[in-house]
């Protein structure tokens, strides 16, 4: 029967002693302590670690724990991570849970649950013999793995520079391309990383609710307003406010948001008293906001004010190597969170993932791997563990629509120009196999311009 190691990351002797005492009552569990994240990362080179327990000392920051998780992921080890802290660190708890820690526990209030999870999360490692031979060669995650795994390495320097400055940022791209994840990464690489990060989905709330959610309200402002309520602009003070689906913000509220972002002040509903806006604003849209402006559904001045720095996230199908890297990231993150022994994927399963079109982008890939890890009976994801809709999906090369030769000369110069433009776009799509980044480069236009042309000629549905 193998012995596994519990690695405690903590510099406080009282906490170390208490955890050591709990671990002594668990069969075949060896206890070790590391005084810092750096020391813990170094110790990961030794085999046999089954669980890492991190105590959030006052100086411990979320990015440091994230670095530990990246190191675990890079070594493709199925190591679960628990975090202990006090009740005042709710924002850190939420951030760490999103990064993939198995659980966040209040110390010393959750002593009983700490012991229970220590035993449950190491039971497989202590009573089975792991097979660590890799089946599919998954890309190791580098220091900036979160950006690289998302296929965003080409914009990494720009993202880091924007994150370090207090500027408004606009993110664009299809649903599921990782805009929320990128917004979180920008926050974590910013000077405000220790401050709150709040998300408001502007497309899911009614006009009355979204106004109160953003700006807050005072007692008596409307029916049901029985007490003052702080909005997200106030709660995110000093941190970051992420406005998702900004294209869904009602037109009537857009002037108020414009003033808040432009003048850095806002008024809660029901009062004329101005409050300072001290949060950085990141906005995101699934639709091209230029088109929303042209259609009269979005104010042009608000668009320009939000788009101080803009990043467009291409679909997953257009990100070279991203499926492989994200698969590595998600297997480690999801398996660690579930205490699962899965640490690898069969080559044919990985090839199936890389061949799929991913209409739901990164979100769909994560859900597919979550399902596979949940249902997989062993420690290796095979092709049979993937959804049948994915493995049986045949994506034949759809014949590109070719414009029929007109029987007569086009009636106008505009028609002739449109036909020539369509023919040139189709030729580029065929020569570049519909990889749109390369199509745009061949045509000498931006990706946003290419998408407008594809939409104009009804070519967006072509599989890449």
pLDDT digit string, tens, across residues 370-380? 999 888 888 88
> E strands within 56-177?
80-85, 103-106, 169-172
The residues of the chain that CATH labels 3.40.50.300 are 153-312
The residues of the chain that CATH labels 3.40.50.2300 are 4-127
Would you state the CATH architecture of domain 4-127?
3-Layer(aba) Sandwich (3.40)
Between 409 and 90, the more confident residue is: 90
pLDDT tier for residue 74 given thresholds of 50, 70 and 90: low
- Give the Cα separation of 99 and 95 in Å (integer): 6
Would you state the pLDDT for residue 458?
Answer: 66
- Give the Cα separation of 326 and 395 in Å (integer): 22
- Give the Cα separation of 324 and 353 in Å (integer): 8
Instruction: State both tokens at 18.
Output: 């208490």
- Give the Cα separation of 152 and 312 in Å (integer): 10
Contact 228, 217 (CB under 8 A): yes
Instruction: State both tokens at 331.
Output: 């297997």
For 164-222, the three-class secondary structure string (H helix, E strand, C coil) is CCCCCEEEECCCCCCHHHHHHHHHHCCCCCCCCEEEEECCCCCHHHHHHHHHCECCCCC
- Residue 97: Cβ within 10 Å count: 14
Question: CA nearest 436: which of 418, 454, 411, 421?
Answer: 454
Contact 346, 391 (CB under 8 A): no
Q: Count CA atoms closer than 13 A to 306's CA, side-chain side.
A: 29
Would you state the pLDDT for residue 171?
Answer: 94
317-391 sits in which CATH class?
A: mainly alpha
pLDDT tier for residue 123 given thresholds of 50, 70 and 90: low
Would you state the pLDDT for residue 335?
Answer: 80
Would you state the pLDDT for residue 149?
Answer: 59
> Does pLDDT of 134 surpass 90?
no
170 strand-pairing partners: 283, 310
The CATH superfamily label for domain 153-312 reads P-loop containing nucleotide triphosphate hydrolases (3.40.50.300)
The residues of the chain that CATH labels 1.10.10 are 396-464
Contact 4, 10 (CB under 8 A): no
DSSP string spanning 292-356? HHHTTSS-HHHHHHHTTEEEE---GGGSTTHHHHHHHHHHHHHHHHHT----EE-HHHHHHHHHS
pLDDT tier for residue 136 given thresholds of 50, 70 and 90: low
Rounded to 5 degrees, φ, ψ at 381 are -75, 120
Contact 352, 391 (CB under 8 A): yes
- Give the Cα separation of 181 and 117 in Å (integer): 28
Task: Compute CA distances 219 → 163, 172, 225, 227, 229, whole Å.
Answer: 37, 37, 5, 4, 8
As a residue count, the chain comes to 464
Verdict on whether the full-model pTM lies above 0.75: no
- The separation between the first and the last C-alpha atoms of the chain, rounded to the nearest angstrom, is 50
- Give the Cα separation of 137 and 305 in Å (integer): 44
- Give the Cα separation of 293 and 139 in Å (integer): 41
Instruction: State both tokens at 180.
Output: 């929320």
Would you state the pLDDT for residue 148?
Answer: 56
- Give the Cα separation of 383 and 140 in Å (integer): 22
Give per-residue pLDDT as tens, 287-309: 889 889 999 999 999 999 999 99
Task: Compute CA distances 360 → 144, 249, 316, whole Å.
Answer: 24, 23, 9
Q: Count CA atoms closer than 13 A to 149's CA, side-chain side.
A: 29
pLDDT tier for residue 85 given thresholds of 50, 70 and 90: confident
Q: Count CA atoms closer than 13 A to 400's CA, side-chain side.
A: 20
Which residue do the tokens 């220590």 mark? 118
Would you state the pLDDT for residue 35?
Answer: 83
- Give the Cα separation of 425 and 438 in Å (integer): 12
Mean pLDDT across 144-164: 73
Mean pLDDT across 110-135: 62
Contact 187, 240 (CB under 8 A): yes
- Give the Cα separation of 386 and 354 in Å (integer): 13
Mean pLDDT across 252-276: 90
Cβ burial of 94 (10 Å; 0-12, 13-18, 19+) is middle
Q: What is the CATH number of domain 396-464?
A: 1.10.10
Q: Please give the order of strands across the beta sheet that includes 280-285.
A: 197-201, 240-244, 280-285, 169-172, 309-312
116, 9, 146, 306: CA torsion to nearest 10: 100
- The alpha carbon of 270 is separated from its chain's Cα centroid by a whole number of angstroms, namely 36
52 strand-pairing partners: 7, 81
> Does pLDDT of 409 surpass 60?
no
């Amino acid at each position: 029967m193998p012995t596994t190691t519990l690695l405690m990351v903590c510099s406080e002797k009282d906490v170390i002693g208490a955890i050591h005492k709990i671990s002594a009552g668990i069969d075949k569990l060896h206890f070790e302590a590391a005084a810092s994240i750096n020391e813990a990362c170094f110790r990961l080179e030794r085999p046999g670690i089954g669980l890492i327990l991190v105590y959030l000392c006052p100086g411990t920051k979320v990015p440091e724990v994230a670095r530990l998780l990246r190191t675990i992921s890079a070594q493709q080890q199925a190591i679960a991570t628990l975090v202990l802290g006090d009740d005042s660190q709710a924002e850190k708890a939420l951030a760490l849970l999103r990064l993939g820690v198995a659980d966040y526990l209040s110390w010393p209030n959750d002593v009983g649950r700490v012991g229970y999870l220590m035993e449950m999360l190491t039971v497989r490692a202590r009573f089975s013999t792991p097979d660590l031979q890799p089946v599919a060669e998954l890309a190791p995650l580098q220091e900036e793995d979160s950006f690289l795994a998302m296929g965003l390495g080409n914009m990494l320097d720009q993202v880091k520079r924007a994150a370090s400055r207090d500027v408004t940022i606009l993110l664009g791209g299809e649903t599921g391309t990782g805009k929320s994840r990128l917004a979180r990464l920008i926050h974590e690489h910013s000077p405000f990383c220790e401050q709150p990060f709040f998300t408001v989905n502007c497309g899911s709330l009614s006009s009355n609710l979204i106004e109160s959610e953003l700006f807050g309200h005072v007692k008596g402002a409307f029916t049901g307003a029985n007490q003052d309520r702080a909005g997200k602009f106030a709660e995110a003070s000093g941190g970051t406010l992420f406005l998702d689906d900004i294209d869904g913000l009602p037109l009537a509220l857009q002037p108020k948001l414009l003033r808040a972002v432009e003048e850095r002040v806002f008024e809660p509903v029901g009062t004329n008293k101005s409050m300072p806006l001290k949060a950085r604003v990141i906005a995101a849209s699934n639709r091209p906001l230029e088109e929303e402006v042209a259609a009269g559904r979005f104010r042009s001045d608000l668009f320009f004010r939000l788009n101080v720095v803009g990043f467009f996230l291409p679909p997953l199908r257009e990100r070279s190597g991203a499926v492989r890297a994200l698969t590595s990231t998600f297997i480690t993150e999801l398996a660690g969170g579930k205490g699962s022994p899965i640490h690898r994927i069969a080559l044919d399963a990985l090839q199936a993932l890389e061949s799929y079109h991913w209409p739901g982008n990164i979100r769909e890939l994560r859900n597919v791997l979550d399902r596979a890890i949940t249902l997989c009976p062993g420690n290796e994801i095979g092709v049979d563990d993937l959804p049948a809709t994915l493995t049986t999906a045949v994506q034949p090369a759809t014949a590109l629509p070719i414009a029929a030769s007109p029987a007569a000369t086009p009636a106008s110069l505009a028609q002739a120009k449109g036909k020539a433009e369509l023919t040139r776009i189709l030729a580029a799509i065929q020569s570049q196999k519909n990889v749109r980044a390369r199509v745009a480069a061949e045509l000498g236009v931006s990706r946003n311009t290419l998408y407008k042309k594809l939409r104009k000629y009804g070519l967006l549905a072509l599989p890449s």
